[in-house]
């Protein structure tokens, strides 16, 4: 392997959202944080060099997005996902959650229902509530240790009048990579009931063998016209601090409204560092990603085997993608406060507590296993000891 993912890069005192808030958030500065979804690996060397070269220019002025930036994006999605994106479909946005919120604001009415599938990434709830819309929950079903969509219930929500759905593919926190038949059925319902699909596909590059990612909008021209696809390099290449994402749609009217609102809020300008970083990511970092996926798969295998052997009362859902592990801790018979105490005080680890992903997540924890193996081992050993002492 060319890249050393075992190397520990100290992140304390680097203004890290993940590492420098443990005392404030959890009451313990010594906690091992495996919660917020950024990785504890350096970004690819090509990106690091591109940012160093860009910084060395010394004048950090207003920045345009060159054609080479758009070409890097379109080439990546054609090469990695067999999806041909016209550069004219691309809108820049500061982040996925910004795009989710704008979509709710622009494409639903105050007081109306917006569909989500719980448990799901917690900002889905925030952007609906904070835009004065109603949350319509289509709870995911569990079958043989994996999430599935309850299409009968989903259709009922659409029939009752919901006209917007926030969809997560690959799914966070469950790691499902939705298959063609599932996406096709969702698409058919969305067209039948005139429901606009906002597809958060930020984890699209992080899937494991046997689970190819299928962009929702790639299924048909009709579905492309009836959707917005939200994408970003941040999870793939560990770039969330650059605040770079895109929205893709061939629907000119949807894109016009989105572009206008972004300009109204003066969010349309490109970050000085973004074009160079994204070109280095999408043009020169395939090998790094391929090796990362092998390493992540190794971490996942280790975690699953450790949990099955050392903490058998906890049932982990095997993810098909992402670097997130969803764990059912209900056999511990702890409420939310007790589960937090077990983590933060007794085990001195921070995983994501499940209730933030919806009521369906109560009794669950989410582990971010995108870290050097030694950190993952230490965190799981700490947690296992704390569980045994309960």
pLDDT, tens only, 319-351: 999 999 999 999 999 999 999 999 999 999 999
The answer on 295 and 219 residing in a single domain is: no
Q: 247 pLDDT exceeds 90?
A: yes
Q: 390 pLDDT exceeds 90?
A: no
**Is the pTM higher than 0.85?**
yes
Q: What is the pLDDT of residues 98-150, one digit of tens each?
A: 999 999 999 999 999 999 999 999 999 999 999 999 999 999 999 999 999 99
**CATH number of the domain residue 256 falls in:** 3.40.640.10
- Return the exposure string of 58-92: e unless at least 16 CB atoms fall within 10 Å of the residue's CB, then b: eeeeeeebeeebbebbbebbeeebebebeeebbbb
Q: 6 pLDDT exceeds 90?
A: yes
How does DSSP classify residue 29? T
The answer on 258 and 371 residing in a single domain is: no
Q: 39 pLDDT exceeds 90?
A: yes
The pLDDT score that the predictor gives to residue 276 is 98
Q: In the β-sheet with 352-353, what is the strand arrangement from edge to edge?
A: 315-317, 324-328, 364-368, 352-353
* Percent of the chain with pLDDT strictly greater than 70: 100
The answer on 99 and 69 residing in a single domain is: yes
The answer on 241 and 299 residing in a single domain is: no
Inside any domain, residue 16? no
The answer on 224 and 80 residing in a single domain is: yes
The answer on 90 and 192 residing in a single domain is: yes
Q: Which domain-ending residue is among 227, 260, 284?
A: 284
Total domains present in the chain = 2
How does DSSP classify residue 36? S
Q: Which domain-ending residue is among 231, 265, 284?
A: 284
Q: 1 pLDDT exceeds 90?
A: no
The half-sphere exposure of 204 on its side-chain side, counting CA atoms within 13 A, is: 22
Q: 358 pLDDT exceeds 90?
A: yes
The answer on 147 and 256 residing in a single domain is: yes
The pLDDT score that the predictor gives to residue 372 is 98
Q: Which domain-ending residue is among 251, 284, 317?
A: 284
The answer on 96 and 224 residing in a single domain is: yes
The answer on 262 and 310 residing in a single domain is: no
Q: What is the pLDDT of residues 179-193, one digit of tens each?
A: 999 999 999 999 999
The answer on 155 and 120 residing in a single domain is: yes
The answer on 175 and 110 residing in a single domain is: yes
């Amino acid at each position: 392997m060319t890249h050393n993912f075992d190397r520990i890069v100290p992140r304390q005192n680097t203004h890290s959202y993940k590492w420098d808030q443990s005392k404030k958030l959890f009451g313990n500065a010594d906690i091992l944080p495996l919660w917020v979804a950024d990785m504890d690996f350096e970004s690819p060397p090509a990106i690091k060099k591109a940012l160093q070269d860009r910084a060395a220019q010394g004048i950090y002025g207003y920045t345009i997005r060159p054609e080479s930036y758009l070409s890097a994006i379109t080439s990546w999605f054609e090469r990695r996902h067999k999806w041909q994106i016209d550069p004219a479909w691309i809108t820049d946005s500061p982040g996925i959650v910004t795009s989710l919120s704008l979509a709710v604001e622009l494409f639903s009415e105050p007081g109306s229902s917006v569909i989500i599938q719980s448990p799901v990434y917690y900002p889905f709830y925030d952007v609906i509530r904070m835009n004065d819309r109603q949350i319509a929950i289509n709870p995911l079903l569990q079958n043989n240790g994996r999430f599935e969509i309850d299409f009968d219930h989903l259709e009922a929500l659409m029939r009752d009048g919901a006209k917007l759905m926030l969809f997560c593919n690959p799914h966070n926190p469950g790691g499902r990579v939705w298959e063609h038949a599932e996406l096709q059925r969702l698409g058919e319902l969305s067209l039948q009931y005139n429901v606009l699909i906002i597809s958060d596909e930020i984890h699209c590059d992080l899937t494991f063998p046997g689970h190819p990612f299928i962009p929702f909008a790639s299924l048909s021209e009709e579905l492309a016209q009836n959707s917005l696809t939200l994408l970003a390099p941040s999870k793939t290449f560990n770039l969330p601090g650059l605040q770079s994402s895109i929205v893709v749609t061939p629907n000119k009217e949807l894109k016009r409204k989105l572009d206008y609102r972004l300009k109204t809020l003066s969010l349309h300008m490109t970050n000085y560092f973004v074009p160079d970083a994204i070109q280095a990511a999408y043009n020169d970092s395939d090998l790094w990603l391929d090796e990362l996926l092998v390493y992540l798969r190794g971490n996942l295998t280790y975690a699953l085997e450790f949990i099955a052997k050392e903490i058998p009362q906890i049932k982990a859902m095997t993810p098909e993608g992402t670097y997130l592990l969803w764990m059912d801790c209900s056999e511990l018979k702890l409420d939310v406060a007790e589960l937090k105490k077990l983590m933060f005080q007794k085990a001195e680890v921070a995983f994501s507590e499940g209730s933030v992903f919806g009521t369906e997540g109560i009794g669950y924890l989410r582990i971010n296993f995108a870290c050097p193996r030694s950190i993952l081992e230490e965190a799981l050993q700490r947690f296992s000891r704390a569980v045994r002492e309960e």
